[in-house]
Amino acid sequence: MFRKFAALVVLAAGVCSTVRCQTQPVDAEGHQWWQHAVFYEIYPRSFMDSNNDGIGDLNGIASKLDYLKSLGVDAIWLTPCYPSPQVDFGYDVSDYENIDPMYGTLADFDRLQQEAKKRGMRIIMDFVMNHSSDQHPWFIDSRSSRTSAKRDWYMWHDGKDSAEPNNWVSTFGGSAWTLDFKTGQYFYHYFYPQQPDLNWRNPAVKDAMFDVTRWWYKRGVAGFRLDAVDTLFEDRQLRNNPVLSGLNKFGDPNETDLYNTKLPEVHDVLRDLRKVADEHNAVLIGETWTKDVSELKQYYGDHSDELQMPMDFLFTKVDKVSPAEFRRQIAAVDSAGGWPVFVVSNHDIVRSYVRYGDARNNQAIAKLMASLYLTLRGTPIMYYGEEIGMQNTDPVRKEDVKDPIGRLGWPLEKGRDGERTPMQWDDSPNAGFTRGTPWLPVSPSYRTVNVSNELNDPASILNVYRNLLQLRHQSRALLDGDYVALNENDPNVLSYLRRYKDEAVLVVLNMSSNPQDVSFDLAPQGFPTKSARTLLTTAPASKESSLSHLLLQPFAVYIGTVSK
Ligand code: NOJ
Ligand code: CA
């Protein structure tokens, strides 16, 4: 039986003394709060501007907490809002323990946090661990002389044969080494030269960075999204990376990042960072660019003692909705042993509305994809604007590009501005985001694609998200049930059961542009029933649906409940 489920919300956010308080289950299955939570990523520059300077801010976010609560969000991940020269729009941090004035103050942060807590929502910060800004006092000190007390906090090396120490290229273009003329040595940066890599082999760096997390835990944050976690360590011998054929979008040689990413030492740091997180009932989410599930598995840790939530980006690699491909990926992630994390878009990736869309059925496909990843076993991380079907709005002229990689790589690489445009709240000028000049142009789609409009349309993408999240919070089967693939040879329709004790939710997703008539025999799964009770559908609705003939229009969704 599908029944209302009152989640036992443990709002013990804050400090759990020095005792490990890793296990504060919220249900009989021993699940933790982050396993029942829906996460929502906010790019603060683009969410809501409270002071009309054209840049979103913390007070703007606070003004939208009721919207997020009613959407069904439980935890907000804020991308960096620390003081920063903004070369990489906040991913170049010059002070880890403050808020950049363009986003507000620490008092604004505390208020946001308290207001979120009042509504039963948590705040997760972005932890930019691999590098600081070159304007961080640590780096300013480090580069001041070869004998600086902070010299060894970064990666300084002599050149080789009057050139860079080795062939490593920055993922943001050019060599990963920059010569500092004053001291005659090179410093290493996996990203921009303004983002020098910290030296994680230095225990003082580790202590200082771990203290940063303690400082925010004491302020009440419920965890961190760990930026670029693959890149923390580099080969001690600085061996050259293998060179592949061809050039990348920046004109640099293609390389395998063999000696500067995913080194085993990363896992030692994660294990220790997890111990600190556990003292605070906090979650660690990793930006883990794993190529397959075996790599993903490593980030959970051999004893589930590293990241609770390494992000699985494999869904973002699927361009066209495909039952076979999703089936394969879901089964693989499900078998990894950890708690799955599903992501379909973020501030570095072309928006899912465009990526999965076929240009004719994008609305239906957006609802279909939401119905997929919000009903799987695991935690979803949404990206702002996804819930209204925001599309990418890429710059059309190089001179309009804000993201430096877009200027460097133009026209092959247009940068990430397109997926970072302001949130579309209503159809007033600038979509209600600001009364000033927005830092990035608002997508012209805002006249129809906006929160206010979609709230009034029962069939909108927004209302599908709201209904899905409501179901998810109320259904034991969706929260705790296992995943059982159905009709595995069907090339057009992806179907599965989420099964918990005597109840199960049936999810049926037509991933084709043709109508499909499907049937199910659920007796082998313990449900010898002939019909399902409809919970949510984008097909014509009826309360009961026959399991021998379930008719689905192109890209339609059917979600129903079955019982024994
Ligand atoms: C990953 C972040 O998501 C991206 O936006 C940033 O540019 C790099 N890490 C560098 O911090
Ligand atoms: Ca502002």
Paired tokens of 355: 């990526």
Is 279 annotated as catalytic? yes
Instruction: Name the region of 184 (left: φ>0; alpha: ψ -120 to 50; beta: rest).
Output: left
CB 237 within 8 A of CB 267: no
Mean pLDDT of the 240-256 span: 98
Rounded-to-5 percentages of helix, strand, coil across the chain: 30, 20, 50
* pLDDT reported for residue 22: 52
Is residue 258 pLDDT above 90, yes or no? yes
CB 177 within 8 A of CB 193: no
**128 CB within 6 A, ligand 1:** yes
Q: How far is the CA of 104 from the centre of ligand 2 (A)?
A: 8
**227 CB within 6 A, ligand 1:** yes
Tally Cβ neighbours within 10 Å of residue 412: 9
Residue 247, Cβ density class (10 Å: 0-12 exposed, 13-18 middle, ≥19 buried): exposed
Relative to the CA of 92, which ligand 1 atom is closest? Answer: 11
Nearest CA to ligand 1 atom 4: 348
Residues paired with 545 in a beta bridge = 532
Q: What is the largest CA-CA distance in the chain?
A: 78
Spot the catalytic one: 57, 234, 279, 413. Answer: 279
Spot the catalytic one: 88, 227, 234, 287. Answer: 227
Q: How far apart are CA 58 and CA 71, in angstroms?
A: 19
User: Cα dist. 258→187, 195, 234, 243, 285 in Å?
Assistant: 19, 21, 9, 10, 23
**228 CB within 6 A, ligand 1:** yes
Mean pLDDT of the 232-257 span: 98
Q: How far apart are CA 481 and CA 477, in angstroms?
A: 4
Is residue 13 pLDDT above 60, yes or no? no
**91 CB within 6 A, ligand 1:** yes
Angle between helices 265-278 and 203-218 (to 10 degrees): 30
Is residue 80 pLDDT above 70, yes or no? yes
Is residue 5 pLDDT above 70, yes or no? no
What average pLDDT does the chain have? 94
Is residue 141 pLDDT above 90, yes or no? yes
Residue with tokens 């051999």: 302
Q: What is the pLDDT of residues 259-274, one digit of tens each?
A: 999 999 999 999 999 9
156-170, 224-238, 331-345, 489-503: lowest mean pLDDT where? 331-345
Is residue 157 pLDDT above 70, yes or no? yes
Is residue 459 pLDDT above 60, yes or no? yes
Q: Which residues of 267-284 are buried (b: 16+ CB within 10 A; e: fewer)?
A: bebbeebbeebbbbbbbb
Q: How far is the CA of 501 from the centre of ligand 1 (A)?
A: 42
Q: What is the pLDDT of residues 92-133, one digit of tens each?
A: 999 999 999 999 999 999 999 999 999 999 999 999 999 999
Task: Grade residue 186 by pLDDT with cuts at 50, 70 and 90.
Answer: very high
Mean pLDDT of the 420-447 span: 98
| 3-class state of residue 351 by DSSP | coil
Percent of the chain predicted with pLDDT > 70 = 96
Residue to mutate (ligand 1; options 91, 311, 316; most atoms within 8 A of CB): 91
* pLDDT reported for residue 525: 95
Residues 6+ positions from 513 with CB-CB distance below 8 Å: 358, 360, 361, 554, 555
Q: How far apart are CA 90 and CA 403, in angstroms?
A: 12
Percent of the chain predicted with pLDDT > 90 = 91
* pLDDT reported for residue 8: 37
Residues 6+ positions from 9 with CB-CB distance below 8 Å: 26, 33, 120
Task: Grade residue 564 by pLDDT with cuts at 50, 70 and 90.
Answer: confident
Q: How far is the CA of 90 from the centre of ligand 2 (A)?
A: 15
Residue to mutate (ligand 1; options 45, 78, 88; most atoms within 8 A of CB): 88
* pLDDT reported for residue 491: 98
Q: Give the E-state strand segments of 142-214 in sequence order.
A: 156-157, 177-180, 185-188
* pLDDT reported for residue 130: 98
Q: What is the pLDDT of residues 47-56, one digit of tens each?
A: 999 999 999 9
* Main-chain dihedrals φ then ψ at residue 160, nearest 5 degrees: -125, 130
* pLDDT reported for residue 23: 55
Is residue 430 pLDDT above 80, yes or no? yes
* pLDDT reported for residue 21: 52
Task: Name the strand (E) or helix (H) holding 341.
Answer: strand 341-343
State the pTM of this model: 0.95
* pLDDT reported for residue 539: 81
| 3-class state of residue 535 by DSSP | strand
Q: What is the pLDDT of residues 300-319, one digit of tens each?
A: 999 999 999 999 899 999 88
CB 442 within 8 A of CB 431: yes
Q: What is the pLDDT of residues 479-525, one digit of tens each?
A: 999 999 999 999 999 999 999 999 999 999 999 999 999 999 999 99
Tally Cβ neighbours within 10 Å of residue 220: 18
39-48, 52-61, 65-74, 318-327: lowest mean pLDDT where? 318-327
Is residue 11 pLDDT above 50, yes or no? no
Task: Grade residue 14 by pLDDT with cuts at 50, 70 and 90.
Answer: very low
Residue ranges with CB less than 5 Å from ion ligand 2: 49, 51, 53, 55, 57
Residue with tokens 């990666």: 155
Nearest ligand atom owner, CA of 349: 1
User: Which DSSP category does 108 fall into?
Assistant: H
* Exposure of 46 in the CB half-sphere (CA atoms within 13 A): 26
